[in-house]
Chain A
């Protein structure tokens, strides 16, 4: 019996096998890039509906990052925002018949988690310096160094497994129900997948923000302090 978790290459680019998640990812990238180019081509100070939606999305991401990190969100906006949009688009791509979301394969989730892991280290070193960043592993005591190192790895794995398990299970459930019941029965489950996909995208982006924020530490950034802290209420 064929392993449902394994992927077969669709074609080869020279020695490189190109699988279905990669192709779907390219399509998603093309769609997101086209939408971004089309909607940001003519930005004005008096926004239309599309520009208003874009600005609302960007300001919401900025507010989320600022509230979590207590920092100016600008350096992290592209990374966090792209992760959220890509994961959301990838999760929702399951609604298209015949398309399996890239996040239902562990390679895509692992790639995103590796980027977050690398970004955590890079932002941490840039904010604290190499010694300062390494010193965070000895907090609150040097005894915690092994645990902190393990935590860096396990939390990255938790990112991978959480996203992979949720999306993959949803796809499997819809596929099984579709094969057993019929055409219209999986629709509620697909609607549930929409919610699960959005929640998982949000969780992945927020956890990435939390990891990076823990690495860079809090600062008294005026741009961040201008925003109202919900915990103050």
Chain B
């Protein structure tokens, strides 16, 4: 067995050349594409991880937004309920105030109506009393409708203040009202009674007023002295009305 050294040398060179060729055109490109795919896969994984993190963040943000919206809605509901309660309270208060006002007004109106009715009844009662008194007095002698009131008029004049009493008759005739014209005797008796309490008998201008029913009324510029049934009835009616 012999070795062909030229063939050995050529095969060595051939093998080295083939190593270079396959390294250049086979192993290096395939290795590069494998590395690129690995890097691409890593990049995709990183991107997916980033997208997942972003989606997670977005989900958290949406969750927070939902919670915020729920809180806002709850606040708005609570505020609306508070406002509604406040408005209801205000309306109830206003209604109560208005009802109280209406009740007071109705009470006042009722009181006024009651006073007016009582006044009307008093008025009517006074007129009825005057009518009764007039009818009763009509059955008495005519003299009693004047003579019985002379002394009472004198006493009423005597009860006037001194200054008022002193000025009676000094400023002209004094008006004397009676239910009928006075008889001379009745005029004399009245003048005597007034002279007794005033010192002098004043000049009298007699006027007839049937509304007095019975009695006399003396009118001066500064005072009116009444002593007749109409005044008594009016005073009674006034007292009843004032109650």
- A contacts, CB < 8 Å to B: 3, 5-7, 16-19, 21-22, 25-26, 29, 32-33, 36-37, 39-40, 43-45, 47, 51, 54-55, 58-59, 74, 77-79, 81-83, 85-86, 102, 105-108, 110-112, 114-115
B19, B29, B30 pick with most chain A CB within 10 angstroms: B30
Q: Mark B15-35, 1 if CB is under 8 A from A, else 0.
A: 111111111011111111110
**12 additional A-B residue pairs with CB within 8 Å, beyond A29-B18, A82-B19, A107-B3:** A19-B7, A21-B11, A22-B10, A29-B14, A32-B26, A36-B21, A39-B26, A78-B19, A78-B23, A107-B4, A110-B11, A115-B19
Q: Is the CB of A78 within 8 A of B22?
A: yes
Using known A-B contacts A7-B4, A36-B25, A111-B8, determine if residue A22 contacts B14 with beta carbons closer than 8 Å. Answer: yes
Using known A-B contacts A22-B7, A58-B30, determine if residue A3 contacts B1 with beta carbons closer than 8 Å. Answer: yes
Using known A-B contacts A29-B18, A79-B19, A111-B8, determine if residue A40 contacts B26 with beta carbons closer than 8 Å. Answer: yes
Report 15 cross-chain contacts, Cβ distance below 8 Å, ordered by A residue. A16-B10, A19-B4, A25-B10, A40-B30, A43-B33, A45-B36, A45-B37, A58-B27, A59-B34, A82-B18, A82-B23, A85-B22, A107-B4, A111-B8, A115-B19
Q: Which of B1, B6, B21, B36 contacts A29 (CB 8 A)?
A: B21
Q: Is the CB of A40 within 8 A of B29?
A: yes
Residue of A nearest to B18 (CB): A29
Q: Which of A21, A55, A85, A105 contacts B34 (CB 8 A)?
A: A55
Q: Return B37 CB to nearest CB of chain A, in Å.
A: 5
Q: Is the CB of B22 within 8 A of A36?
A: yes
A17, A40, A83 pick with most chain B CB within 10 angstroms: A40
Q: Which of A43, A82, A115 contacts B30 (CB 8 A)?
A: A43
Using known A-B contacts A16-B6, A105-B7, A111-B8, determine if residue A36 contacts B26 with beta carbons closer than 8 Å. Answer: yes
Q: Which of A18, A51, A78 contacts B10 (CB 8 A)?
A: A18
Answer yes or no: B166 CB below 8 A from chain A CBs.
Answer: no
Q: Return A182 CB to nearest CB of chain B, in Å.
A: 30
Q: Mark B37-50, 1 if CB is under 8 A from A, else 0.
A: 10010000000000
Q: Is the CB of B26 within 8 A of A108?
A: no
Q: Which of A59, A82, A108 contacts B22 (CB 8 A)?
A: A82
Distance in angstroms between the alpha carbons of A67 and B103 in the assembled complex: 108
Using known A-B contacts A3-B1, A43-B30, determine if residue A114 contacts B14 with beta carbons closer than 8 Å. Answer: no
Using known A-B contacts A45-B33, A77-B31, determine if residue A33 contacts B21 with beta carbons closer than 8 Å. Answer: yes
Q: Is the CB of A43 within 8 A of B29?
A: yes
Q: Is the CB of A106 within 8 A of B3?
A: yes
- B contacts, CB < 8 Å to A: 1-4, 6-12, 14-23, 25-34, 36-37, 40
Q: Return A205 CB to nearest CB of chain B, in Å.
A: 13
Q: Is the CB of B8 within 8 A of A25?
A: no
| Chain A residue contacts of B12, Cβ below 8 A | 111, 114-115
Distance in angstroms between the alpha carbons of A140 and B29 in the assembled complex: 42
Using known A-B contacts A5-B1, A7-B4, determine if residue A112 contacts B15 with beta carbons closer than 8 Å. Answer: yes
Q: Return B16 CB to nearest CB of chain A, in Å.
A: 7
| Chain B residue contacts of A85, Cβ below 8 A | 22
Q: Which 8 A-B pairs have the closest CB atoms?
A: A78-B23, A111-B11, A36-B26, A111-B12, A107-B7, A40-B29, A36-B25, A43-B33
Q: Return A129 CB to nearest CB of chain B, in Å.
A: 25
Q: Is the CB of B8 within 8 A of A110?
A: yes
| Chain B residue contacts of A44, Cβ below 8 A | 33
Q: Return B23 CB to nearest CB of chain A, in Å.
A: 3
Q: Return A16 CB to nearest CB of chain B, in Å.
A: 6
B7, B10, B25 pick with most chain A CB within 10 angstroms: B7
Q: Is the CB of A55 within 8 A of B15?
A: no
| Chain A residue contacts of B27, Cβ below 8 A | 58, 77-78, 81
Distance in angstroms between the alpha carbons of A119 and B4 in the assembled complex: 23
| Chain B residue contacts of A36, Cβ below 8 A | 21-22, 25-26
Q: Is the CB of B25 within 8 A of A33?
A: yes
Distance in angstroms between the alpha carbons of A105 and B2 in the assembled complex: 11
